[in-house]
Structures are given as C-alpha cells and as structure tokens.
C-alpha cells in the first residue's frame, strides 16, 4: 500500500460548505485508469482529480479528472481546485500571474490573483460555440422547460468542452422556485448529447451577484450541480454572443447552488480577445493522505 497526499476542497467558496466539493490526489505514481476510477468512486465527490508531471513544454502540471463513473475531458471547478492544490503543495509556480494546466482539452492557463491574502483562481475555458438556437416549443425541449418561465433570450445549445442548453428564465424568483422534471431533462440530455439545462436569470436588485444560475444535469444520474465553472463559461459565451452580459466591463458574479444546500459565487470575465475566464475562491476542508 502507498500513502498518497489527498485533499478535499470546496471550490467557488469563501467558507466551508458553500462551494462545489472536489477531491485531489497529488501522488499518482503507479495508479492506472482502473485505480483512479476506483478512488473517484470511493471519494464520492462530483469529481476527483489526479496530478501528474507535465508532458508538454510550458505546462506546470498535467491533470486527469474522473467523476464517480467515468473520466471527463474538462470541468471548471476541478481545474480551479487542482491549481490551488498544486500551488499550495509547491508542485508548480506562477509566471506573470499564470499557471498552465495540461489536460485532455490541451493547455489551459489559470490566472492567480491575491487580494488582501485571499487567493482567486480563474481558468481560461475552452472557447464555446453556438451549436443550435431553438424555440421553447421545440419537441426536444418542451417537456424539460415546461416549469421554467420564459426569459427574453431563446434557448441555445452551447458547446464548450461539455455541451449545455442555456435557458433564460424571466426572473430570479421564478428560477429559484422552479422544480425540474428530471425524467424530461434526462431524456433531453440523451437525445441531444448534452449535460442538460443551464438555467439563468438576472439577479434581483440589491444582490451581491449579477446572475442566478441553476444547472440541471441529465446525463448519467440526474442531479443539480452545486457550482459549475464549465456551464457558467458556456453561458457567458452565449450572453456575449447576444451583447447581454450583466455586470461591468466584461466581469460579473454568478450565484449557484443555494437550492441544493450550497452558496457558491463564481467570477466570470470576458477578456479583450473574447476568451472566457471562470473562477473564484477555494476553501480547503481536508488535508491528509490516503493509503491506496
């Protein structure tokens, strides 16, 4: 048996229990695909990541990501949490405020900012594209969207490494009170080869965020995601496409997870080149080892 450094983190969180949970294994020598999948299944986190030495010049480290059931090519909160763990362990450093991650989708830079001792990490997400723009009455969508009060923008199928339907809801109260039809969302996800529905609404006045977001995952075992950096990044690209970004100067804050017992804050930024950066703070919960 081998002791391996192991962390559990809350991503997009300023306190324990607020963000999206992640497990990170820093010592991976001797782990094959089956062992990594077994650890991910055992950890029961939405994703577990495994850190390796980079194979490409310019990368600080290489990462592989696993849900409890399969390997995933890219996800936002595992990228941010892994960068936090790697930097904290001294396994990589920053250059000009960036650390570069090597993964299945290629090289992705993460920007690291320190504000009064509070570290924020944002990943430049894979560039998202509009695959389809649909009517709410589209037979593929009608059942899954039946409980969502329509907003101004039409539903759009976005592909940013993972595919999501971006669906605007009329107001925050309607969004937060919506009850998803999980069977319909699972059917939609399977029929369109997507994760499911990323529903959003403009925040009510006086909030400390600009957008409220709920991500209804229909793939595999349907659930509501506590905080999805990838879903929010594809949503940001759709809003940019429609010149409908909230916030100021290409920056805004999204609130996600309250309906499932979390309270995450995601910082989104669209830079001058049109690239989307998805980030936030990370709260470490467990630091230790596993004997595997």
Domains parsed from the chain with CATH numbers = 3-125+280-291 (3.10.310.10), 129-274 (3.10.310.10)
Which residue from 64, 61, 56, 1 is spatially nearest to 34, judged by alpha carbons?
64
Q: Which string of b and e fits 255-267 if b means at least 16 CB within 10 Å? A: bbbebeebbbbbb
Q: What is the DSSP secondary structure assignment for residue 205, as one 8-state letter?
A: T
Model confidence at 89, pLDDT cuts 50, 70, 90, reads very high
Helix (H) or strand (E) holding 84: helix 76-89
- As annotated, the active-site residues are 47
CA 100 to chain centre: 18
CB count within 10 Å of CB 208 equals 8
Which residue from 152, 142, 202 is spatially nearest to 172, judged by alpha carbons?
202
175-203 pLDDT per residue, tens: 999 999 999 999 999 999 999 999 999 99
16-65 pLDDT per residue, tens: 999 999 999 999 999 999 999 999 999 999 999 999 999 999 999 999 99
With H, G, I as helix, E, B as strand and everything else as coil, classify residue 97: coil
Tell me the C-alpha distance between 202 and 277, whole Å. 20
């Amino acid at each position: 048996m081998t002791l391996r450094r192991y962390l559990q983190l809350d991503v997009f969180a300023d306190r324990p229990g607020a963000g999206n949970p992640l497990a990170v294994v820093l010592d991976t020598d001797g782990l094959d695909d089956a062992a990594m999948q077994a650890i991910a299944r055992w950890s029961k986190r939405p994703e577990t990541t495994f850190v390796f030495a980079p194979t490409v010049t310019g990368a600080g480290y290489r990462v592989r990501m696993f849900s409890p059931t399969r390997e995933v090519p890219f996800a936002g909160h595992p990228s941010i949490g892994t960068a936090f763990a790697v930097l904290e362990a001294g396994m990589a450093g920053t250059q000009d405020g960036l650390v570069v991650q090597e993964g299945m989708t290629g090289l992705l830079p993460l920007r690291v900012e320190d504000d009064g001792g509070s570290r924020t990490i944002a990943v430049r997400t894979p560039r998202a594209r509009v695959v389809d723009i649909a009517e709410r009455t589209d037979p593929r969508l009608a059942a899954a969207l039946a409980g969502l009060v329509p907003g101004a923008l039409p539903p759009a199928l976005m592909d940013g490494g993972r595919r999501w339907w971006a669906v605007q809801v009329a107001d925050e109260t309607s969004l937060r009170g919506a009850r998803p039809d999980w069977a319909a969302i699972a059917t939609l996800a399977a029929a369109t080869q997507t994760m499911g529905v990323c529903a959003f609404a403009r925040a009510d006045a006086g909030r400390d965020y600009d957008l409220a977001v709920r991500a209804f995952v229909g793939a595999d075992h349907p659930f509501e995601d506590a905080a999805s950096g990838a879903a929010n990044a594809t949503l940001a690209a759709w809003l940019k496409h429609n010149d409908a970004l909230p916030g100021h100067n290409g920056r805004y804050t999204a609130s996600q997870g309250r309906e499932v017992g979390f309270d995450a804050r995601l910082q989104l930024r669209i830079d001058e080149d049109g690239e989307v950066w998805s980030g936030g703070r990370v709260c470490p919960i467990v630091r230790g080892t596993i004997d595997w």
